[in-house]
């Protein structure tokens, strides 16, 4: 019996295929087969948001997301936000406002911001705090992240 599965999905706009064992998470596939490390594991329990990626436009925790579920889906990681060498406006905002220190949580914060701005283009501070509250930052760069999200709302 084989525990391998071939998957086809769209990754950052390009159709791709990959083989994954049934117990493997999407993170392992992204890292091993595509060399993408922007979604990264920290808590491994769906609690910190470092492993965030977008699946069909919705933010999910890659550490808990089995690779098999990605079959047929559209995946976006932080590496897929820039267009033709130009940073996405949310990335520009995080650079401008220095919304990071060690940077380990940053891709997750950026992708959550993307989802937030998709639903609330002009978020209040309360909305920002609540929407991002599932993403943690041990460097506690929270004030600068909030500033970055505010700025992103202006730029997007």
Binding site for ligand FES (CB under 6 A): 41-44, 46-51, 61, 63, 100-105, 137-139, 141
CB-nearer residue toward other proteins: 10 or 127: 127
**Quick one: which of 105, 89, 106 has its CA closest to 153?**
89
Q: How far is the CB of 30 from ligand FES (least distance, A)?
A: 13
**Residue 35 CB neighbour total at 10 angstroms:** 8
How large is the angle between the packed helices 89-96 and 142-155, nearest 10 degrees? 140
* 99 phi, psi to nearest 5 deg: -85, 45
Q: Using CB under 8 A as the criterion, which residues of the chain lie in contact with other proteins when the complex forms?
A: 21, 23-24, 31-32, 36-40, 42-45, 47-48, 50, 77-79, 81-82, 87, 91, 94-96, 98, 100-107, 110, 128-130, 132-133, 135-146
The one of other proteins, ligand FES, none whose footprint includes residue 63, by CB under 5 to 8 A per kind, is ligand FES
For the bound state, the minimum distance from the C-beta of residue 31 to ligand FES, rounded and expressed in Å, comes to 13
Strand partners, 17: 8
CA 56 to chain centre: 12
């Amino acid at each position: 019996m084989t525990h391998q599965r071939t998957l086809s999905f769209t990754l950052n706009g390009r159709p791709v295929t990959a083989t994954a064992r049934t117990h493997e998470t999407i993170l392992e596939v992204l890292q091993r087969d595509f060399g993408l490390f922007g979604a990264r594991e920290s808590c491994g329990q769906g609690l910190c948001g470092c492993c965030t990626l977008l699946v069909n436009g919705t933010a999910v925790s890659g550490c808990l997301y089995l690779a098999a579920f990605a079959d047929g889906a559209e995946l976006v990681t932080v590496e897929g936000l820039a267009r033709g060498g130009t940073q996405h406006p949310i990335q520009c905002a995080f650079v401008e406002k220095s919304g990071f220190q060690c940077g380990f949580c940053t891709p997750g914060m950026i992708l959550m911001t993307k989802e937030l701005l998709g639903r609330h283009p002009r978020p209040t501070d309360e909305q920002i705090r609540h929407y991002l509250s599932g993403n943690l930052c041990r460097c506690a760069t929270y004030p600068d992240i909030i500033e970055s999200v505010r700025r992103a709302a202006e730029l997007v």
